[in-house]
Structure 1
Amino acid sequence: MLLLILPACGKPVPSDTALGEVDVSGEPEQTAVQNNETIAINLGNDEFQLKPLAEYSISAVVIGKKSYSSGWQGRLAPVDIALAWGKLMAPGLSEHISFSQSGRWYYYEYDKDFSLNEPYIIAHSSNNHIIPANENILLSVKSFRKGDKVTLAGILVSVRGKDKGEDVWWNSSLRRNDTGDGSCEVFYVTKVTRAGYVYE
């Protein structure tokens, strides 16, 4: 499979409508891949190979969005989306925790009135490096705002390629409760649901 990411312009075009509000109370769904075919992405003179690791779908609240443009990672995954689900965004709790993003990481702070423990926060929030399947997906993700309830579906991947003649790689986390280097999801997104519309 060959994919060419084109410069984004305009607004995303929905492919369908979705009934009801996105339910963010459940856990992300991660299953074995049905198609092991490597995805090739051309970026100028460089080609990157995306190896599918797991099929993945997550319904969550957007707690942060940050764009990147420098380096091969910024060209391949130009947006990071931080997400939270489960009890983290429940009324009476969400005002006691805050999130921020920098350097392709996300961070959180909470006050003395926040009743959930840190392992719960770690297991119910994530920073996602978004590799869009096409321009429409990119436009949709770029339109996210904090507080949006969204569903993202696609594939968690490992990336191999060359940048300026040097071998580079990027591996997705396959767990929700890990921390530190390698704990973010490298997420090839093929479908987005937001505000009653589906984007593909």
Structure 2
Amino acid sequence: MISPVRLLLILGAGLLAFGYLKRDTVPEHGLLLPEVLTEPRQRAVEEAPFSVRAGDVDYRIEPVADYDITGLVVSRHDSDTFWDSFHTRANDHLNVADLCLVWGANASDGAYERMAFWNGQWTCNFRYGGDAAIGPEHTRALSNNHLLTERSDIAERIRALRVGDQVRLRGQLAVYKHQAGMNFVRGTSLSRDDTGNGACETLFVSQLDLLQPAPAWPRWLRWIGAVLLALGLVFWYRAPFDAREQ
């Protein structure tokens, strides 16, 4: 017979592990906001370049279009993660994170639920699952978005976003560059229909709205599991040695 203490340890560890495995759970398409079903809005602009400073590096921003996108976060990448060598080598402190978003056709019929997504250092990758009927209207309704900001408050909110969040991002698609140790230039896509190198949207963010957070139950499972595991360890430590062996 399993002792209560051991049962507490097993239950806590199991809930913690299951919550961690399900941490990137996305909502079903029936739970998506109507705004996520829409297409991004883009308007060409002719504005003078401007300069910003981030990480002791001066950047030149060249806006090319106003951009407004609402989507579901299906994958993400923090540029300051320890294994990201690309941004370190490029001395790029302005690109805070990448968000892979789906919207439109992907959102309306739930195609994203039958796809797997993952980010590299500067790409969003995806694959189809099973016999999913994925067409051009689905592959165009997703994008990897390089999010730029020199503002600490916006950067903090970007880093707080999680897979499963429904968000609205507004700002300007832009080319950005610097001369800090190299001639660094990074452009932006202006089309939803391109693929491969150069197909990412580079967005200088002026406003970020978290419209609907990701499903909370995986996070709650992790918290409950951690609490149960901690209690189990306390009771196990305080129990007599022979009781631990039961």
Quote the offset at 1:133 in angstroms: 5.0
Change (3 A) 1:85 1:139: same
Change (3 A) 1:144 1:121: same
Deviations 1:120-175 (A, max 9, x none): 233100001100252221111111111111100000001122131x2110001101
Quote the offset at 1:95 in angstroms: 2.5
Q: Which runs of 5+ in 2 are unaligned?
A: 1-32, 81-87, 214-246
Match of 2:68 in 1: 57
Match of 1:174 in 2: 190
* Aligned length in residues: 174
Is 1:106 paired with 2:96?
A: no
Change (3 A) 1:159 1:112: same
Q: Which runs of 5+ in 1 are unaligned?
A: 1-20
Match of 1:159 in 2: 176
Question: Which residue identity is paired with 2:206?
Answer: T
Identify which of 206, 209, 224 aligns with 1:193.
209
- Greater Cα offset, 182-191 or 120-129: 120-129
- Greater Cα offset, 146-155 or 68-77: 68-77
Change (3 A) 1:44 1:107: closer
Match of 2:233 in 1: none
Question: Which residue identity is paired with 2:116?
Answer: S
Point out the structure with the larger helix share. Answer: 2
Question: Which residue identity is paired with 1:192?
Answer: L
Match of 1:12 in 2: none
Match of 2:148 in 1: 131
Q: TM-score, normalised by structure 1?
A: 0.79
Output the CA distance in 1 between the equivalents of 2:194 and 2:91.
21
CA RMSD, aligned part only? 2.1
Is 1:75 paired with 2:75?
A: no
Question: Which residue identity is paired with 1:100?
Answer: W
Higher alpha-carbon Rg = 2
Question: Which residue identity is paired with 1:75?
Answer: H
Change (3 A) 1:188 1:32: same
Question: Which residue identity is paired with 2:115?
Answer: I
8 Å Cα contact 2:67-2:170 kept in structure 1: yes
Question: Which residue identity is paired with 1:95?
Answer: E
Change (3 A) 1:92 1:182: closer
Identify which of 28, 37, 45 aligns with 1:25.
37
Identity %: 26
Q: TM-score, normalised by structure 2?
A: 0.65
Quote the offset at 1:195 in angstroms: 3.3
8 Å Cα contact 1:22-1:151 kept in structure 2: no
Change (3 A) 1:150 1:43: closer
Quote the offset at 1:62 in angstroms: 0.5
